[in-house]
Amino acid sequence: MAELSYRDAVAYGIAQEMRRDPALVMLGEDIAGAGGVFKTTVGLLDEFGPQRVRDTPISEQAILGAAMGAAMTGVPVIAEIMFSDFLAVCWDIVANEIAKSRYMTGGQVTMPLVIRTANGGGSRFGAQHSQSVENWCMMIPGLKVVAPSNPEDVVGLMAAAVRDPDPVVFFEHKSLMAGKAEIPAGEIVGTLGSATVAREGADCTIVALALMVPRALEAAEQLAADGTDAEVIDVRSLVPLDTQTILGSVSKTGRMFTVEENPRLCGWGAEIASIVTEEVFWDLDGPTMRITTPHIPLPAAEALEDMAIPSVSRIYETVSKSMG
Amino acid sequence: MSTKPHFDQKATEPPDPGFYDYSRRPVRRPDPVNMDNDHLDIHLDRRLELYESQLVLRQFEKRAYDLFLQNLVKGTSHLSLGMEAVAAGFGRALRQDDYVFATYRGHAHTIAKGAPLGPVMAELLGRSNGILEGKGGSMHLTSAQHNMMGSYAIIGAHLCVANGAAWSAQMRGTEQVAVAFFGDGTTSIGAFHEALNFAVVWNLPTVFVCENNLYMEYTPSDLVSPVEHPGAGRGPAYGLEGVVVDGNDADAVYLVAQAALDKARRGDGPSLIEAKTYRSGGHSRADPGKYRPAEEVEAWDDRDPIPMYHERMLRVGATEAQLAEIQQSVALRVDEATEFAKAGLPPDESALMTDVWADGGSAWRN
């Protein structure tokens, strides 16, 4: 057991995989010399050298193009896009090329690559450096999408993503970086497409992702004090999606709330709500409810950003009111 | 090579509507055939291969066009008619394990890298025996087993992807080279500039080949490029010498290709080559190409790479009988490919949901 921050878990997880596979390389802006602008890649240059850990120009298309070309010719790659908002400047490579090449070629090419990117709000960075864009990736056939909420999952899902032969977008949450937790000794390897029950409960199910998981857990403790026993599910992986864990929980509790940091329209919770209403409608005791950031660009000021992103109190109040 | 500004329209004066009748613009003529190229150091056997390769590409594209007219080829298609010398010249210079990346105008490059004609033709027809099993179509031809790593239909992306293959070769120490073919229109998109810069700063074995066919889709390229050479003219900004070659002379292309490939294999980094050529037809299936001055089309028809090369072959020692034999064997191969394609069935429903993931399936949930 060792205590590790979410931030340090990123480098820890990458190092675990780079030691295991000497072919694995990484590239991105400021990841080598500087150790990443979020200090998530500190120490990797020293351990693995400049051939395997490479700084790039500010050229997101060139970065992901290089990752794709290397991956499809047999070299597994971890590429960093500094802020997830910047996926928009290389979206062609992500959505049209990396995601579709296997299908379009009748299975001729394999794309063992991971796109790591810092996602989410809470840092007062404004509308272009704070977005939660996991739903952008979720809607593209051919991409796998994960967003860990704690240090152990960072390491385990990083290993799972690297070892998966398909492209995986790996969202690291900026506001979780400082959080610390004990992680087990030895190799940690997670599984894509598996949700976890972060808190067991009998009265309702709160489905959350990344930063929304600790907030949902805190809200659940407050609800418990009122006598509402909420189950909290950490989705962890949007694609593949562990619907069985979610459906099983909702069938048991009869109510579902999703907590999403993305803006309202077409958030991942809408897809889950749709699956729940199609498949376990008769187990529901009330409507599925979505708690999301409003459909606005994120504001910069502390007071406004805190109003926009679902807070512990908003989760508590929404669930509380709805559960009567 | 001149890099002086070429764009003479004043920004303050919007053009009158007649300006857009490009068929009335000054004719852009090809350079005359360089007769000295007869004496280039290329063995007759290699020239016979270059001749055959150009014929294959020409006959294949003509057949593809015939099949459009019979409504057997669906969707869009972009032919390389008139531009065969570029694909053939590079095709013969490449090593088997070199990587090729092409655009949606990629039939010629796919075939020149070794992909079999029948499955390529079948793909155009949307058949299950197509090289992509009917899932990609004309614009995405790929033959990974020949290291033909794809045809990319969004302008610019594949230059960045080619860098990745070059980086991979560099790391693996294989002396393979990645070649990216693209049109003059690509030089206006950001990915082109990102890719050149990246290839130079990482000293990658990438060869960038601009096929300048004088038209960015329907618009004359000199109206959208501030430099005389839209490909080569951009080289100096990235510390690259811009090389211009007669793209309608397979021998000239072959030697330029060899030099660039050798340079990349030596570890001396990327090259940027602009091959001047001309599309004999329109941009795509839907385009008759009427925006081009008739006199210009005629002048370039007179510089068609294939009759020119035929005459050269006779001057350098090939016989009419030898060339006729090649013509016949090519015609037979294209006929066989057509029969192969026509015999293919439409893809079965079972193919629809396969190969999204490496496990062969498309499941996104449990």
Contact B163, A63 (CB under 8 A): no
Amino acid at B328: Q
Contacts of A96 in chain B (CB under 8 A): 154, 157
- The pair of structure tokens assigned to A283 is 């187990």
Residue B232's contacts (CB-CB under 8 Å, 6 or more residues apart) are B1, B210, B242, B243, B244, B272, B273, B274
> Do residue A67 and residue A111 come from a single domain?
yes
- Report how far apart, in Å, the C-alpha atoms of B6 and of each of B3, B30, B224, B290 are: 8, 18, 10, 24
B199 vs B160: CA distance, rounded Å: 9
CA of A64 vs chain B CAs: smallest distance (Å): 8
User: Which 3-state string (H, E, C) describes chain A?
Assistant: CEEEEHHHHHHHHHHHHHHHCCCCEEEECCCCCCCCCCCCCCCHHHHHCCCCEEECCCCHHHHHHHHHHHHHCCCCEEEEEEEHHHHHHHHHHHHHHHCCHHHHCCCCCCCCEEEEEEECCCCCCCCCCCCCCHHHHHCCCCCEEECCCCHHHHHHHHHHHHHCCCCEEEEEEHHHCCCEEEECCCCCCCCCCCCEEEECCCCEEEEECCCHHHHHHHHHHHHHHHCCCEEEEECCEEECECHHHHHHHHHHHCCEEEEEEEECCCCHHHHHHHHHHHHCHHHCCCCCEEEEECCCCCCCCHHHHHHHCCCHHHHHHHHHHHHC
pLDDT score of B1:
47
- The pair of structure tokens assigned to A303 is 């007071």
- Nearest to residue A162, comparing CAs of A43, A26, A37? A26
The answer to whether the Cβ–Cβ distance between B178 and A72 falls below 8 Å is no
> Do residue A157 and residue A214 come from a single domain?
no
Within a domain: A58: yes
B50 vs B180: CA distance, rounded Å: 20
Q: Which uninterrupted H or E stretch holds B133?
A: none
Contact A204, A254 (CB under 8 A): yes
- Give the pLDDT mean for A170-186: 97
* B356 reaches A (C-beta below 8 A): yes
pLDDT score of B301:
94
Within a domain: A206: yes
A6 vs B35: CA distance, rounded Å: 69
- Nearest to residue B103, comparing CAs of B47, B158, B166? B158
- Nearest to residue A210, comparing CAs of A263, A241, A170, A158? A170
Taken in order A304, A310, A311, A314, the sign of the CA dihedral is positive
Contacts of B202 in chain A (CB under 8 A): 54
The answer to whether the Cβ–Cβ distance between A97 and B157 falls below 8 Å is yes
Full residue range of the structural domain in which residue A118 is found = 2-183
DSSP state of B154: S
- Nearest chain B residue to A61 by CA: give it: B191
Contact A156, A185 (CB under 8 A): no
Q: What is the mean pLDDT of chain A?
A: 98
The answer to whether the Cβ–Cβ distance between B160 and A61 falls below 8 Å is yes
Top-level class of domain B50-345: alpha beta
Say whether B99 sits in a helix, a strand or coil: strand
* Chain A residues 196-255 with CB within 8 Å of chain B: 239-244
Domain boundary among A150, A183, A216: A183
Tell me whether residue B212 is exposed, middle or buried, using C-beta atoms within 10 angstroms of its C-beta: 0 to 12, 13 to 18, 19 or more. buried
CATH number at residue A20: 3.40.50.970
* B256 reaches A (C-beta below 8 A): no
Cis peptide before A240 (omega within 30 of 0): yes
The answer to whether the Cβ–Cβ distance between A96 and B154 falls below 8 Å is yes
Q: Which uninterrupted H or E stretch holds B216?
A: strand B215-216
CATH number at residue A294: 3.40.50.920
B262 vs B303: CA distance, rounded Å: 29
**In chain B, where the domains are located:** 50-345
DSSP state of B143: B
pLDDT score of B2:
47
- Nearest chain A residue to B180 by CA: give it: A69
- The pair of structure tokens assigned to B345 is 């069935």
> Do residue A136 and residue A234 come from a single domain?
no
Contact A188, A161 (CB under 8 A): no
B301 vs B304: CA distance, rounded Å: 5
The answer to whether the Cβ–Cβ distance between B140 and A243 falls below 8 Å is no
> Do residue A219 and residue A248 come from a single domain?
yes
* Chain B residues 134-153 with CB within 8 Å of chain A: 134-136, 140, 142-145, 149-150, 152
> Which residue in A61, A108, A110 is closest to B142 by CB distance?
A108
- Nearest to residue B84, comparing CAs of B349, B330, B358? B330
- The pair of structure tokens assigned to A114 is 């991971």
- Give the pLDDT mean for A199-221: 98
Contact A182, A37 (CB under 8 A): no
Within a domain: A97: yes
Contact A144, B365 (CB under 8 A): no
> Do residue A117 and residue A249 come from a single domain?
no
Catalytic residue among A7, A129, A215, A290: A129
> Which residue in A62, A74, A102 is closest to B195 by CB distance?
A62
> Do residue A148 and residue A284 come from a single domain?
no
The answer to whether the Cβ–Cβ distance between A65 and B140 falls below 8 Å is no
* A108 reaches B (C-beta below 8 A): yes
- The pair of structure tokens assigned to A204 is 């309702």
Taken in order A100, A103, A109, A113, the sign of the CA dihedral is positive
Backbone angles phi, psi at B208, to 5 degrees: -100, 120
> Do residue A55 and residue A203 come from a single domain?
no
Is A129 one of the catalytic residues? yes
> Do residue A78 and residue A143 come from a single domain?
yes
The answer to whether the Cβ–Cβ distance between B168 and A73 falls below 8 Å is yes
- Report how far apart, in Å, the C-alpha atoms of B294 and of each of A146, A219, B28, B176 are: 57, 75, 11, 43
Beta carbon pairs, A and B, within 8 Å:
163
* A139 reaches B (C-beta below 8 A): no
> Do residue A98 and residue A247 come from a single domain?
no
Taken in order B183, B184, B186, B192, the sign of the CA dihedral is positive
Backbone angles phi, psi at A191, to 5 degrees: -130, 130
Domain boundary among A183, A205, A240: A183
pLDDT score of B17:
75
Number of domains in chain A: 2
Amino acid at A16: Q
pLDDT score of B3:
45
> Do residue A77 and residue A209 come from a single domain?
no
Within a domain: A189: no
Q: What is the pLDDT along chain B (366 residues), one digit of tens a residue?
A: 444 555 555 556 667 778 888 999 999 999 999 999 999 999 999 999 999 999 999 999 999 999 999 999 988 889 999 999 999 999 999 999 999 999 999 999 999 999 999 999 999 999 999 999 999 999 999 999 999 999 999 999 999 999 999 999 999 999 999 999 999 999 999 999 999 999 999 999 999 999 999 999 999 999 999 999 999 999 999 999 999 999 999 999 999 999 999 999 999 999 999 999 999 888 887 888 889 999 999 999 999 999 999 999 999 999 999 999 999 999 999 999 999 999 999 999 999 999 999 999 999 999
Contacts of A65 in chain B (CB under 8 A): 157-164, 191, 194-195
CA of A181 vs chain B CAs: smallest distance (Å): 29
